[in-house]
């Protein structure tokens, strides 16, 4: 177990919460967590470097970068891992369709992380036309070059995610160390619009999803998929349904008319279940012989 400045926080996880760290942290919604040989995950959230682990029905967690009391860590963990959302209810809604019922049974440990809105927006701008490994590398280089150093563990340095204000002061040439190519101009446009207040990300939480999408798509290079990812993973708008290649194929093959009406309010969670399911069992997308 990693050494924590203060004693680890323990949260009992009832069966109704069914959080799976492996499914949640490795499903393409966040790119700042790495799995360790001892079964823990290490990640950066804000200015915290955290380790988390599941053990006998509990979520164990500790902050490596600063002392935290249970009174600070417990509400933070419940918020970040979305432990107070009724995922059992979501899975019952998915049960109205046989395919989604199977997907929810297989991947029902996925929770939608409550990430910081700017980080989610910037990350998914970088994600365009990329796989998870490359996205992770881009995010790491962005943080190394423009974030603030937090902690070094066994020679590895951990950095905060750079603010919109810091990135807005850069140029495309300045972003060259990130090696993000054509995405650099999109990151800069987003940073300038957010840092100037032209786009208020916190305010997007309170308005209808389509209106929020339209505002985000006013950023260069932000189309429906990136806008919906930012809203789903950064602002917890669970009705968003981002379509990447896998989900596009799955929807075309399995749901040509779209998800059932009762699933639409939680389409983003259903999409994550389906994504993980078809990624592990791609044969369900093959045409019947």
- Residues marked as catalytic: 225
CA distance 271 to 277: 10
Reading the block at residue 182, the tokens are: 């054509």
Q: CA nearest 49: which of 145, 143, 179?
A: 143
Q: What are phi and psi of 173, to 5 degrees?
A: -65, -35
Q: What is the DSSP letter of 81?
A: T
Neighbouring C-alpha atoms within 13 Å toward the C-beta of 112: 26
Q: Where are the alpha helices (DSSP H) in 13-116?
A: 21-25, 70-80, 87-94, 98-107
Reading the block at residue 88, the tokens are: 């059992």
């Amino acid at each position: 177990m990693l050494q924590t400045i203060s004693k680890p926080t323990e949260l009992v996880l009832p069966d109704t919460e069914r959080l799976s760290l492996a499914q949640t942290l490795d499903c393409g919604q966040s790119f700042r967590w790495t799995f360790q040989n001892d079964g823990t995950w290490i990640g950066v959230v804000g200015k915290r470097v955290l380790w988390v682990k599941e053990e006998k029905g509990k979520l164990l967690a500790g902050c490596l970068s600063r002392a935290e009391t249970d009174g600070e860590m417990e509400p933070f963990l419940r918020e970040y891992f979305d432990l107070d959302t009724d995922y059992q209810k979501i899975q019952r809604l998915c049960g109205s369709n046989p395919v989604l019922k199977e997907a929810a049974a297989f991947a029902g440990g996925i929770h939608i992380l409550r990430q910081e809105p700017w980080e989610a927006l910037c990350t998914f701008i970088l994600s365009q036309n990329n796989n998870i490994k490359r996205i992770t590398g881009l995010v790491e280089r962005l943080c190394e070059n423009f974030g603030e150093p937090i902690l070094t563990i066994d020679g590895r340095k951990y950095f905060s995610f750079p603010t919109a204000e810091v990135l807005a002061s850069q140029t495309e040439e300045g972003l060259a160390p990130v090696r993000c190519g054509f995405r650099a101009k999109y990151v800069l446009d987003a940073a300038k619009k957010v840092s100037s207040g032209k786009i208020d990300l916190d305010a997007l939480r309170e308005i209808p999803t389509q209106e929020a999408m339209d505002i985000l798509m006013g950023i260069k290079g932000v189309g429906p998929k990136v806008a919906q990812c930012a809203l789903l993973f950064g602002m917890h708008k669970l009705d968003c349904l981002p379509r990447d290649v896998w989900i596009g194929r799955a929807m075309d093959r399995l749901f040509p008319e779209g998800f059932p009406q009762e699933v639409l309010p939680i389409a983003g969670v259903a999409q994550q279940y389906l994504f993980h399911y078809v990624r592990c069992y791609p044969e369900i997308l093959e045409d019947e012989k």
